Chain A
Amino acid sequence: KQEVTQIPAALSVPEGENLVLNCSFTDSAIYNLQWFRQDPGKGLTSLLLIQSSQREQTSGRLNASLDKSSGRSTLYIAASQPGDSATYLCAGIYGQNFVFGPGTRLSVLP
């Protein structure tokens, strides 16, 4: 069974810190992996898509890596800001099937 887990479930950091969010998947036959952000009461917003041929992807202060052999992806956020406070979800992509983790709820304190 394809499962995705995320650790930690919640994280609180002071503004300016660099932080890492973790995503683990049980089926290494993953094709792509996508990271999302979800603000309270909103839908999911795509942050980064890592294709199977890539090992990492960067957008601004965000960097995501994918290691299929170890079944892990990490999302690195540099110089965190209060506006980064949200829930971050990862999804393993198997063909046309997206398997979501439960998310990490991030709070960045001013």
Chain B
Amino acid sequence: EAGVAQSPRYKIIEKRQSVAFWCNPISGHATLYWYQQILGQGPKLLIQFQNNGVVDDSQLPKDRFSAERLKGVDSTLKIQPAKLEDSAVYLCASTPLGGWTGELFFGEGSRLTVL
């Protein structure tokens, strides 16, 4: 079974530029999460989708971050304009049903460096 796919693995941009990350969850997984992980910390939730609807985006900085999950499968996370403090690893994860009984499965992450 294929795992969670993410791209690109690495991205270096100047501040005020834009960047987009892509995620393809495990086939059949209804719930998709985007997390931000700063070095030395645990992942922090940015947004959660159930199929193609948003369940929780309370911690997403909406003035610069946006995310979508068209057709309830792939998802894209965009940052525009980027700030220095956005340097982090962006992790995508999926689970079949949410937290009730399902494990959370992560992709390899996309490491963003903002100069």
Contacts and interface: CB of A to CB of B under 8 A. Distances in A.
A86 B99 CA distance: 25
Given A42-B109, A43-B91, A97 B42 contact: no
A100 B100 CA distance: 16
B106 interface: yes
Nearest to A96: B98
Interface residues of B, number: 28
Interface stretch (A12-20, A45-53, A62-70, A76-84): A45-53
The DSSP consensus for interface residues of chain A is: strand
Contact of B104 (A91, A94, A102): A91
A34 interface: yes
A26 interface: no
A3 to B, nearest CB: 10
B108 A98 contact: no
B106 A98 contact: no
B14 interface: no
Given A51-B101, A98-B99, A100-B42, 19 more contacts: A4-B42, A32-B101, A34-B103, A34-B104, A43-B6, A43-B107, A43-B108, A44-B93, A44-B106, A46-B104, A89-B42, A91-B42, A93-B99, A95-B99, A96-B48, A96-B56, A96-B100, A97-B99, A98-B104
